[in-house]
Amino acid sequence: MNHYNPFKTVSFSMRKSLMAACLGSILSFGGASQAQEPVRIAFMDPLSGTFASIGNSGLKILEFAADYLYNSRGGILGGRMIEIVSLDNKQSPNETQLQFRRAVSEGIQIIFQGNSSAVASTLSQTISRHNRRNPGQEVLQLNYAAVDPILTEENCSFWHFRFDAHANMKLNVLTDYIAQNPEIKKMYIIGQDYSFGQVVSDTSIALLKQKRPDIEIVGNEFHPIGQVKDFTPYVTKIVSSGADAVITGNFGADMVSLARSIIDSGLDIPIYTFYAAYDGITATLGEDGKDRIRLIHNEYANPVPTEERREFNRAFKAANPNNDVTQPRIVNALQMLVTAMEQSQSTDPYDLAIALEDMRFTTLSGEEVWMRADDHQIFQGLHVSVHTDEGIEFDGDNSGFGLFTEYNVPADETIVETSCQMTRPRR
């Protein structure tokens, strides 16, 4: 039941503008600065429905990063505040089109979006078309989590920047890691039936064939996204296939249910995932998932690499005790965006895109990341981490459990070729 609720987003943005108004009045009252127009950034992700928890956790991180890093320190571009406008796209391509129209009508030119590659593709196409037809009112898409390779390959766009490693890069590292484990002989792949799930399946099969031809693929299953009530029937098949490891690209409720069903069935095999942490997942897996669930991700887990990152996380936890910094790449994306703004002294998407291209930026984790100009794909170190309660400084869901990094691959080893033929607008 995917429903449309017009009131929700209105109230969100009303709250936002109210806050902005308050902020503005406080500032002018204090005489700190002239009430300058804020830099408005849209956050477009599911804030209601089945996948609401992921969207909301991303929104909290972006809002906090904007306030903590910039607004509380005098703003950007000589005193302008960053205002985050949340737009609920319910993870539906249709709703995304509607919300995009809203963003445009409100004059917003920068959109953060991450959940679902299907939505990211729609948005990228919509933005390309819009920008072609409306010169001077371009919109920039900052993709922090949609990892279908196609977005920086065949369908790459000048207006789209990806701040997460794409699925093929992640799977390359993950299969390297799996290949090191001689005990794995039979692999079962299960995923949500949409573009990303298909990519995970196709790429893992191809890479495993290359790296470990002796591993047999004993199952390759797709299920509808967000529709499965009970994964036990799938797990029955996994058990009877004799698999000794599972790869899945599932996220949200589909990830928890799958992991729980596997654990409940008494099957004690490693599960390799992309998204099995935080937003209730870590707490739900708890003791049962210990040393069995592994994640491939960028940025860091435990141990925390730098004091800056630690400080940021502590401040975030103090402000949001029930949330975690689940996606530090959102912070990186915002920091790189602001760096581009300061460099170009502009908020115009074209100037920002040019400034972001080929940018090398040192994150709070002390790592230098690189935004490749050819396809607007970021490169940074990738890690495989395990779900455990040992050596955890920052846990997930206040459960004592968290991710501990077992395997690191530096940024320059993650670089892959691209087939992107980018059409660049002329100015």
Partner 1 sequence: MLEVLIFATLNGLVTGFLLFMLASGLTLIFSMMGVLNFAHASFYMLGAYFAYSLSLYFGFWTGLIFAPLIVGVLGALVERYGLRKVHQSGHVAELVFTFGLAFLIEEAVQFFWGRDTKNYQTPEILDFPLFTLLGQEFSAYRGFMMAISIGIFIALYYVLTKSRVGIIIQAAITHPQTVANLGHNVPLIFMGVFGVGTALAGVAGVIAGPVLTTFPGMAAVLGSIVFVIVVIGGLGSLAGAFIASLLIGLLQSYAIASDVGMPDLLDLLGLSFARDHPLNDLWTINLPQIAPVLPFLLLVLVLIFRPTGLLGKREE
Contact set with partner 1 (CB under 8 A) = 1, 3, 5, 48-53, 56-57, 193, 221-224, 226-230, 232-234, 236-237, 239-240, 253, 256-257, 260-261, 264-266, 279-281, 283-284, 286, 322, 397, 399
Cβ proximity to partner 1: between 166 and 223 the closer is 223
- Residue-wise DSSP of 141-165: EEESS---GGGGTTT--TTEEE-S-
Cβ at position 240, least distance to partner 1 in Å: 5
Cβ at position 4, least distance to partner 1 in Å: 11
Torsion of CA 319, 329, 168, 120, to 10 degrees: 80
Strands 82-88 and 39-45: parallel
Cβ proximity to partner 1: between 227 and 408 the closer is 227
Cβ at position 54, least distance to partner 1 in Å: 9
Cβ at position 275, least distance to partner 1 in Å: 12
Cβ at position 347, least distance to partner 1 in Å: 31
Q: CA-CA distance, 347 to 191, in Å (whole number)?
A: 39
Cβ at position 247, least distance to partner 1 in Å: 17
Q: CA-CA distance, 183 to 289, in Å (whole number)?
A: 19
Q: CA-CA distance, 400 to 391, in Å (whole number)?
A: 10
Cβ at position 375, least distance to partner 1 in Å: 25
Cβ proximity to partner 1: between 3 and 427 the closer is 3
Q: Residue 33 burial (CB < 10 Å; 0-12/13-18/19+)?
A: middle
Give the SS3 label for residue 267: coil
Phi, psi of 370, deg, nearest 5: -130, 125
Cβ proximity to partner 1: between 24 and 286 the closer is 286
Long-range Cβ contact pairs of 14-21 (< 8 A, separation 24 or more):
16/83, 16/84, 16/85, 16/86, 20/81, 20/83
Cβ proximity to partner 1: between 261 and 377 the closer is 261
Cβ proximity to partner 1: between 146 and 218 the closer is 218
Give how far Cα 49 sits from Cα of 59, 180, 252, Å: 15, 40, 11
Cβ proximity to partner 1: between 74 and 233 the closer is 233
Cβ at position 323, least distance to partner 1 in Å: 9
Whether 81 contacts 71, CB under 8 Å: yes
Q: Could you tell me which of 425, 367, 347, 404 has the C-alpha nearest to residue 131? A: 425
Q: CA-CA distance, 286 to 272, in Å (whole number)?
A: 16
Helix 52-65 to helix 328-344 angle, to the nearest 10 degrees? 40
Cβ proximity to partner 1: between 287 and 413 the closer is 287
Cβ proximity to partner 1: between 219 and 349 the closer is 219
Strands 140-143 and 160-162: parallel
Helix 117-133 to helix 195-211 angle, to the nearest 10 degrees? 120
Cβ at position 93, least distance to partner 1 in Å: 18
